[in-house]
């Protein structure tokens, strides 16, 4: 395998049962083997993606003292700005070479949530920033729910099994800026090798290469998608919930060659999280004599808190 598999959401959305089943089989098999796919015919338009990248670049070009006004360390950076080097991969002490922003869920009035989400932070210098970010948030959330419907069928659940948990879930849209590298990084990389915390991650096309996925034989594979595709991977929550049937694959963002250290890199992942009261207990459909239960019972909220401590965004 030299790249991640490519799938077409139009197959799943078609009224042809064979095409729908083809998509279910393709994405399910890919997530068992490598944990990543590239997806075309999603709900995020080229125009919206272009507008979001324009707003994101304008934000990260603001003076540092302005960006710092939007930092919210008291809520573990769940909303607003997170400054350079604050986050690190689990088990590493070197901070990643990045700064980022968090847009979060704005729940519907009838959501009946068991928790209150922090409010999004409004950037006054850029009047279109928040509106554009939340417009993209909704389209990525919609795409993610359809991917989860296919996965529900693949593991033997009813198609809408994940709908309640993913709708109004604690999802995060994270625009990331990897600034130019100005000196020898001293073991730090743009994003250290890690698995994602959430159910699935949807990644818009990055402005420069660098994302690599670790194959089960240990090789690192460049994750290359076409301009109109999203890269979508399984997170640790979904791996736990499916008793390791679907794989949360280790991935990283490597530093560019030295002659490209002067370049900026922008990337915008959407981390689809469930509601915090979702139980991540291993599903009975994924447990049998050959595949005994691999994980202790835990809720999504408790698992998220545990992992945010491990990556340095909140204190114990």
Domain locations along the chain = 6-310
Burial of 22 (0-12, 13-18, 19+ CB in 10 A): middle
Q: Over range 93-111, report the average pLDDT.
A: 86
Per-residue confidence (pLDDT) for residue 11, from 0 to 100? 98
Q: Over range 26-47, report the average pLDDT.
A: 94
Q: Tokens for 96?
A: 């990643």
Q: Over range 48-77, report the average pLDDT.
A: 94
Beta strand ranges found along 118-256 (DSSP E):
172-173, 176-178, 191-194, 200-203, 211-214, 220-222, 230-234, 251-253
Residue 227 backbone phi and psi in degrees, to 5: -55, -30
Query: Quick one: CA dihedral 8, 12, 13, 19, positive or negative?
Result: positive
Per-residue confidence (pLDDT) for residue 211, from 0 to 100? 83
Q: Give the C-alpha separation, 85 to 247, whole Å.
A: 28
From 18-32, 176-190, 267-281, the region with the lowest mean pLDDT: 176-190
More confident residue, 94 or 230: 230
**Other C-beta atoms within 10 Å of 167: how many?**
18
User: What is the CATH topology of the domain spanning 6-310?
Assistant: Jelly Rolls (2.60.120)
If pLDDT is split at 50, 70 and 90, which confidence band does 1 have?
Answer: very low
Pairing mode, if any, of strands 176-178 and 191-194? unpaired
**Residue located via tokens 């042809």:** 16
Q: What is the mean pLDDT of the chain?
A: 89
Asked whether 121 and 79 are in contact (CB, 8 A), the reply is yes
Q: Over range 279-305, report the average pLDDT.
A: 96
DSSP 257: P
Containing 55, the helix (H) or strand (E) segment is helix 46-60
Per-residue confidence (pLDDT) for residue 96, from 0 to 100? 67
DSSP 256: P
Q: What is the pTM of this model?
A: 0.90
């Amino acid at each position: 395998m030299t790249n991640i598999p490519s799938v077409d959401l139009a197959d799943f959305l078609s009224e042809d049962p064979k095409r729908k089943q083809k998509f279910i089989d393709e994405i399910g098999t890919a997530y068992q083997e490598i944990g990543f796919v590239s997806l075309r015919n999603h709900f995020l338009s080229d125009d919206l993606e272009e507008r979001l990248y324009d707003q994101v670049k304008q934000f990260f070009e603001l003076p540092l003292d302005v960006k710092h006004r939007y930092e919210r360390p008291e809520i573990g950076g769940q909303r607003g700005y997170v400054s350079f080097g604050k986050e690190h991969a689990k088990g590493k002490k070197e901070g990643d070479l990045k700064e980022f922003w968090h847009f979060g869920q704005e729940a519907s009035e009838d959501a009946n949530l068991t928790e209150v989400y922090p409010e999004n932070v409004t950037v006054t210098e850029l009047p279109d920033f928040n509106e554009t970010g939340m417009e993209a948030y909704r389209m990525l959330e919609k795409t993610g729910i359809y991917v989860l419907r296919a996965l529900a069928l693949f593991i033997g659940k009813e198609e809408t099994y994940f709908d309640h948990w993913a709708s109004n879930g604690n999802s995060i849209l994270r625009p990331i800026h990897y600034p130019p590298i100005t000196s020898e990084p001293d073991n730090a990389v743009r994003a250290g090798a890690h698995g994602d915390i959430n159910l699935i991650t949807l990644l818009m096309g990055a402005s420069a290469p660098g994302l690599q996925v670790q194959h089960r034989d240990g090789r690192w594979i460049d994750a290359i998608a076409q301009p109109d595709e999203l890269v979508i991977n399984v997170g640790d929550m979904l791996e736990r919930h499916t008793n390791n049937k679907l794989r949360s694959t280790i991935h990283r963002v490597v530093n560019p060659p030295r002659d490209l250290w002067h370049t900026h890199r922008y990337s915008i992942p959407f981390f689809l999280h469930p509601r915090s009261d979702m139980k991540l207990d291993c599903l009975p459909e994924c447990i049998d004599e050959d595949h005994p239960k691999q994980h202790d019972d835990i809720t999504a909220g408790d698992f998220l808190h545990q992992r945010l401590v491990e990556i340095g965004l909140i204190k114990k």
